[in-house]
Amino acid sequence: MPERLPQDRLIDQFQAPTSPPLPREQLIADLLRVEKAARYRPPANDFQQLLGTWQLRFVTGTQKARQRAGIVLGAGQYLPSWVKITLTYEAATDNTGRMINRISLAPLTLVVSGPCRFQSPRNLLVFDFTRLAITLGRLTLFQGFLGNGEEREAQFSQREIGKQAFFVFFLLEERVIAARGKGGGLALWVKP
């Protein structure tokens, strides 16, 4: 039987939730192989493939971030079941919309959101979190703009890419997506 491709292992890992998780080292190696292949032959993707809600399942930090934060992520970490982090993408046009990041530690929920735009063929998603909402159960503790979020939101489309946060997606499948962030870390999300 031929060896399975890294991309196939990643997809199968999260389509069959009863299968045992890949060891972290194997998952990172597969992500790096898929990312390298995408650099040489970028897949033709568009913003429509991101629309909907995705649950963060695995994340790595950069060496620099790990040194600043202590050993929070180590070399990569599956997210524990008691924390739920999701990203939701909503479209405004073919390549622009809103990105909503929800972090739930029941009963506390933190939501940051803001504008985003997708650039093909680089599979680059530029974003800015400009709004914050904090709830405790049904009680809203805070809801409004972050700092000068209103101004940043109004000027979002004119700002240079290098001065904004971004993800470079190298895997966009029906149920699994993966990207490298501006800071160098890797992240993998699945459809819940």
In this prediction the pTM is 0.87
Residue 177 pLDDT = 95
12 or 91, greater pLDDT: 91
What value, to the nearest 5°, has the Cα angle with vertex 81 and ends 106 and 167? 95
pLDDT tens per residue, range 11-42: 777 766 566 788 999 899 999 999 999 888 76
34 neighbors 10 (Cβ within 8 angstroms): yes
Looking at the chain, the whole-number percentage of residues with pLDDT higher than 90 is: 65
At residue 185, does pLDDT exceed 90?
yes
d(CA 113, CA 146): 10
- Reply yes or no on whether the pLDDT at 63 is more than 60: no
- Residue whose pair of structure tokens reads 């995408």 in the numeric block: 38
As a whole number of angstroms, the distance between CA 78 and CA 89 comes to: 22
